[in-house]
């Protein structure tokens, strides 16, 4: 009976916890079906904006220190190629995807805040031996060029598909990494070409509700202890 009381009390407290904001998921390219998307395009989900930017680039990711050089702007592409092949890429690529000489920046600075936790990027069309890398950093304040590139050194990680089939990969960026990245993420291909399918921000509970959780659980534990003492 005591265990049942504890379970019911804890469940009741958990049900009272609601996030400050709901999870936000941008499914790209959304309802947009035209091409190209120009060098930048803003996607809106539940009043939250995500702005994508297209860049020409070169990357050093096979040796340390890793870096990404933006060398110009280029048009984005809205690719609609079916399951695993739909998302945002680069118009100049033969498959309308991000390749090793291009990058898509994802600017979340107008939407991301302490009310959210991890940011998850879903990368599609990752064929065998293809891969991607993710960097972070502020947007360029002026248009980068080959003679005056914009350098990014905040390397967040990479993935290469060593399997035999086309995969969709989920890359997670923590709140600490988002802060260091100034809420802007850059995706480039490490090999082959890929597309960005979704970007999501996970909600976090309001601090007051966390306090309620611990207080409620402590009360439930105390109730169980009292009943056991009385029964003894």
Q: Quick one: 136 exposed, middle or buried, by C-beta within 10 A (0-12, 13-18, 19+)?
A: buried
pLDDT at 159: 95
Residues 6+ apart with CB under 8 A from 186: 55, 68, 103, 104, 105, 106, 134, 135, 136, 137, 152
Q: Determine if the pTM surpasses 0.85.
A: no
Dist. CA 56–CA 58, nearest whole Å: 7
Q: Is residue 128 part of a domain?
A: yes
Tokens of 106: 């994802």
Query: What gap in Å lies between CA 158 and CA 193, rounded to an integer?
Result: 13
Into how many domains does the chain fold?
Answer: 1
Domain contains 171: yes
The answer to whether residues 173 and 121 touch, using CB atoms and an 8 Å cutoff, is yes
| Residue 228 covered by a domain | no
- Quote the pLDDT of residue 30: 85
* Average pLDDT per consecutive 10 residues, the chain (232 residues; last block may be shorter): 43 45 89 84 95 97 90 96 91 96 98 96 96 98 97 96 90 98 98 97 70 45 37 40
Q: Does residue 7 lie within any of the structural domains?
A: no
Q: What is the CATH number of the domain that holds 31?
A: 2.60.120
* pLDDT value for 35: 82
Residue 173 placed within a domain: yes
Among residues 30, 42, 131, 127, which one has the least CA distance to residue 85? 127
**Residue 178: inside a domain, yes or no?**
yes
Residue 215 lies inside a defined structural domain of this protein:
no
SS3 76: strand
Residue 232 domain-assigned (yes or no):
no
Q: What are phi and psi of 4, to 5 degrees?
A: -65, -40
Domain that holds residue 28: 20-207
- Pinpoint the alpha helices (H) of the chain: 2-16, 175-180, 207-231
Q: Which residues contact 7 (CB under 8 A, 6 or more apart)?
A: none
Q: How far is CA 10 from CA 2, 13, 50, 81, in A?
A: 12, 5, 37, 47
């Amino acid at each position: 009976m005591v265990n049942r009381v504890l379970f019911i009390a804890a469940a009741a407290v958990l049900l009272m916890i609601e996030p400050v904001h709901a999870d936000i998921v941008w499914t790209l390219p959304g309802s947009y079906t035209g091409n190209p998307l120009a060098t930048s395009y803003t996607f809106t989900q539940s009043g939250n904006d995500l702005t994508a930017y297209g860049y020409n680039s070169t990357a050093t990711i096979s040796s340390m220190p890793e870096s990404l050089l933006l060398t110009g702007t280029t048009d984005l592409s809205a690719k609609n190629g079916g399951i695993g092949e739909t998302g945002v890429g680069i118009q100049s690529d033969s498959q309308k995807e991000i390749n090793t000489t291009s990058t898509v920046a994802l600017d979340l600075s107008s939407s991301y805040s302490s009310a959210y936790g991890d940011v998850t990027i879903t990368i599609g069309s990752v064929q065998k031996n293809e891969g991607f890398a993710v960097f972070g950093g502020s947007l360029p304040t002026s248009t980068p060029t080959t003679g005056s590139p914009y350098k990014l050194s905040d390397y967040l990680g990479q993935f290469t598909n060593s399997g035999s089939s086309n995969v969709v990969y989920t890359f997670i960026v923590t709140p600490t990494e988002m802060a260091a990245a100034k809420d802007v993420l850059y995706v480039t291909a490490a090999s082959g070409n890929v597309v960005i399918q979704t970007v999501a921000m996970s909600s976090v509970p309001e601090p007051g509700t966390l306090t309620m959780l611990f207080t409620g659980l402590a009360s439930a534990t105390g109730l169980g202890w009292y009943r056991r003492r009385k029964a003894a």
